Amino acid sequence: MKACVYASPGKVELRNIPEEPIERGKIRIKVAYCAICATDAHVVKRGLWDAPLGIVLGHEVSGIVVEMGPDAGGSGLKIGDRVIGSPLRNCGLCEQCRRGRPQYCNAYSDMVFGGMAEYKVYDQKNLYKIPDYLALRDASLIEPLTCVMRAMDLSNIQQGDAVCLSGCGGIGLLMLQAIKAKGASRITVIEPVAEKHELARELGAEFVIDPKTESVAERAFEITSGLGYDVVIEASGAPVAAPVCIDIAGKCGTVVYFAVYPTDFEMPVNLYDLYSKELRIQTVYTHPLIYPRAVDFASEINLDRVIGIEFPLEECVKAFEAFDTKKYPKVVLRCSEDELL
């Protein structure tokens, strides 16, 4: 089958690879769509998670069940079901799993990759059936949506809270809609790419701050009548965007550092400033048990508008180039030509 692999540092390649054998408790899906995640690009560019050369990239997957392994019926899934795949694994038996922290399962430190291929074998526990009204293309964004929902769960946004979001990439635009759905007010985005401002407004931003041409702090206090934001969420992952988030948070505010920052990035913070406003700093990892809720929440979010461009699997090299331009919020690979998709 065809697959997009991490060929060498900085390079992806379309290769023909053998299909994985199917084992006990496993289910094979025909991949419909796989979205490119920033972490895929980090793997290719800087070897994130020590990913080995030759692995098939991709973990934001939707598809159709085509083969059931022995004893895979416990999931209730059957051939023909439309599903999404989760890249997270948890054993349910280790100390972390038993203490309610399955995202830190001791048995698995790696994610399930391999989504940018014609077929993919999953453990039955990692597949979730999606409703008929959800398009398979849109459903490929459910994995990033679960991360956004984890941020919402931890950010504790109250209705009417003034909320600012830094960064309007693909995940930022999902976050923006989730913030709106929470009933936030004075929703503001900080985004240096002018081409993204209009879409941000369309998807819920009341105010847009361009950090290239305006003082972020000045505008932020103007918008919040001098109070600062109740919640600030940094989703750009750019070190340069990180410090100001603390400055523009108000008294008793929360700053959520959502993105995956460079591993050597350190940011000085003035603890007196934090003390004087009783500020809370929150980071976000992930949580495997959000998937069922994300499947239901997906229809409340305009996922189609977040998908900027689509390429067939054969053009995966072009797709990664398009991702690198940062012009498109989300780049999606169409992995099957099946008319039913």
* Residue with Cβ nearer Zn ion (170 or 250): 170
User: Under the phi-then-psi rule, with left for phi > 0, alpha for psi from -120 to 50, and beta for the rest, what region is 194?
Assistant: alpha
Tell me the C-alpha distance between 83 and 61, whole Å. Answer: 9
The interface region with Zn ion, picked from 90-98, 218-226, 229-237, 303-311 by CB under 5 A, is 90-98
Is residue 217 a contact residue for Zn ion (CB under 5 A)?
no
Burial class (CB in 10 A: 0-12, 13-18, 19+), 38: middle
Tell me the C-alpha distance between 252 and 233, whole Å. Answer: 15
The interface region with Zn ion, picked from 35-43, 121-129, 228-236, 272-280 by CB under 5 A, is 35-43
Nearest CA among 121, 143, 139, 119 for reference residue 130: 139
The interface region with Zn ion, picked from 98-106, 111-119, 160-168, 173-181 by CB under 5 A, is 98-106
Maximum Cα interatomic distance, the chain, rounded to a whole number of Å: 63
Among 65, 97, 136, 256, binds Zn ion (CB under 5 A): 97
In the region spanning residues 105 to 134, those forming contacts with Zn ion, defined by CB under 5 A, are 105, 107
Is residue 91 a contact residue for Zn ion (CB under 5 A)?
yes
Least distance in Å: CB of 258 to Zn ion? 13
Which residues have a Cβ under 8 Å from the Cβ of 220 and sit 6 or more positions away? 164, 188, 209, 228, 229, 247, 248
CB burial of 174-190 (b: ≥16 within 10 Å; e: otherwise) equals bbbbbbbebebebbbbb
Is residue 7 a contact residue for Zn ion (CB under 5 A)?
no
* Residue with Cβ nearer Zn ion (22 or 94): 94
Least distance in Å: CB of 120 to Zn ion? 15
Least distance in Å: CB of 316 to Zn ion? 16
* Residue with Cβ nearer Zn ion (90 or 126): 90
Among 3, 29, 37, 245, binds Zn ion (CB under 5 A): 37
Helix (H) or strand (E) holding 186: strand 185-190
- Could you tell me where the DSSP H helices lie in 184-263? 197-202, 216-223, 243-247
The interface region with Zn ion, picked from 83-91, 163-171, 181-189, 261-269 by CB under 5 A, is 83-91
* Residue with Cβ nearer Zn ion (174 or 179): 174
Least distance in Å: CB of 98 to Zn ion? 8
Least distance in Å: CB of 94 to Zn ion? 3
Which residues have a Cβ under 8 Å from the Cβ of 52 and sit 6 or more positions away? 6
Is residue 94 a contact residue for Zn ion (CB under 5 A)?
yes
Give the count of beta carbons closer than 10 Å to the beta carbon of residue 76: 8
Is residue 34 a contact residue for Zn ion (CB under 5 A)?
no
**Residues that bind Zn ion in the complex, under the rule CB under 5 A:** 37, 90-91, 94, 97, 105, 107
